[in-house]
Amino acid sequence: MPKTLTELRHGIDQVDRELLELLNRRAALANEVGELKRAEGSPVFRPEREAQVINGLQGANTGPLREDNIAHIWREIMSACRALEAPQRVAFLGPYGTFSEQAAIQFFGSSIEKIPSVSIDEVFRATAAGTAEYGVVPVENSTEGVIARSLDLFLATPLHIVGETSLLVRHNLLRKEKTMEGVEVVLAHPQALAQCQGWLNEHLPEAERRAVSSNAEGARLAATHPQWAAIASERAATEFGLHIAAHAIQDDAFNRTRFAVICLPQTLSAPEASGKDCVSLIVSVPNRPGAVHDLLVPLKNHGVSMTRFESRPARSGQWEYFFYIDLQGHPAQPHVAAALKDLQALCAFYKVLGTYPVGE
Ligand SMILES: O=C(O)C(=O)C[C@]1(C(=O)O)C=C[C@@H](O)C=C1
User: Does the C-beta of 124 come closer than 6 Å to ligand 1?
Assistant: no
For a pLDDT cut of 90, what percent of the chain falls above it? 78
| CA of 130 relative to ligand 1 center, distance in Å | 22
Residue nearest atom 11 of ligand 1, based on CA coordinates: 82
Rounded to whole angstroms, the Cα distance separating 313 from 244 reads 40
Q: What's the pLDDT tens digit per position in 109-136?
A: 999 999 999 899 999 999 999 999 999 9
Nearest atom (ligand 1) to Cα of 34: 5
Q: What's the pLDDT tens digit per position in 198-247?
A: 999 999 999 999 999 888 899 999 999 999 999 998 888 998 999 999 99
| CA of 23 relative to ligand 1 center, distance in Å | 13
User: Does the C-beta of 140 come closer than 6 Å to ligand 1?
Assistant: no
Q: What's the pLDDT tens digit per position in 239-264?
A: 899 999 999 999 998 889 999 999 99
User: Does the C-beta of 33 come closer than 6 Å to ligand 1?
Assistant: yes
Residue 114 is predicted with a pLDDT of: 97
Q: What would the mean pLDDT of 41-51 be, rounded to a whole number?
A: 92
Nearest atom (ligand 1) to Cα of 49: 15
User: Does the C-beta of 83 come closer than 6 Å to ligand 1?
Assistant: no
Rounded to whole angstroms, the Cα distance separating 18 from 103 reads 31
Q: What's the pLDDT tens digit per position in 18-43?
A: 999 999 999 999 999 999 999 999 99
User: Does the C-beta of 108 come closer than 6 Å to ligand 1?
Assistant: no
Closest Cα partner for 298 from 339, 327, 334, 326? 339
Rounded to whole angstroms, the Cα distance separating 110 from 105 reads 5
Residue 39: left (phi > 0), alpha (psi -120 to 50), or beta?
A: alpha
Residue 287 is predicted with a pLDDT of: 79
Q: Which of the pair, 130 or 286, is modelled with greater confidence?
A: 130
Closest Cα partner for 158 from 124, 199, 115, 209? 124
CA atoms within 13 A on the CB side of 30: 22
Residue 285 is predicted with a pLDDT of: 87
Residue 120: left (phi > 0), alpha (psi -120 to 50), or beta?
A: alpha
Secondary-structure breakdown of the chain: helix, strand, coil percentages, each rounded to the nearest 5: 40, 25, 35
Residue 251 is predicted with a pLDDT of: 93
Q: What would the mean pLDDT of 316-334 be, rounded to a whole number?
A: 88
Q: What would the mean pLDDT of 309-315 be, rounded to a whole number?
A: 86
Closest Cα partner for 321 from 146, 166, 165, 190? 146
pLDDT at 286 over 90: no
| CA of 49 relative to ligand 1 center, distance in Å | 7
Q: What's the pLDDT tens digit per position in 62-112?
A: 999 999 999 999 999 999 999 999 999 999 998 888 889 999 999 999 999
Residue 17 is which amino acid?
R
Residue 315 is predicted with a pLDDT of: 74
Residue nearest atom 8 of ligand 1, based on CA coordinates: 78
Rounded to whole angstroms, the Cα distance separating 205 from 189 reads 18
Confidence of residue 318 (pLDDT cuts 50, 70, 90): low
pLDDT at 290 over 90: no
Confidence of residue 171 (pLDDT cuts 50, 70, 90): very high
Q: What would the mean pLDDT of 306-328 be, rounded to a whole number?
A: 86
User: Does the C-beta of 112 come closer than 6 Å to ligand 1?
Assistant: no
pLDDT at 317 over 70: no
Confidence of residue 360 (pLDDT cuts 50, 70, 90): confident
| CA of 355 relative to ligand 1 center, distance in Å | 19
User: Does the C-beta of 282 come closer than 6 Å to ligand 1?
Assistant: no
Closest Cα partner for 78 from 45, 103, 100? 45
Residue 336 is predicted with a pLDDT of: 96
Q: Choose which residue among 42, 50, 274 to substitute to test ligand 1 binding: the one with the highest number of ligand atoms within 8 A of its C-beta.
A: 50
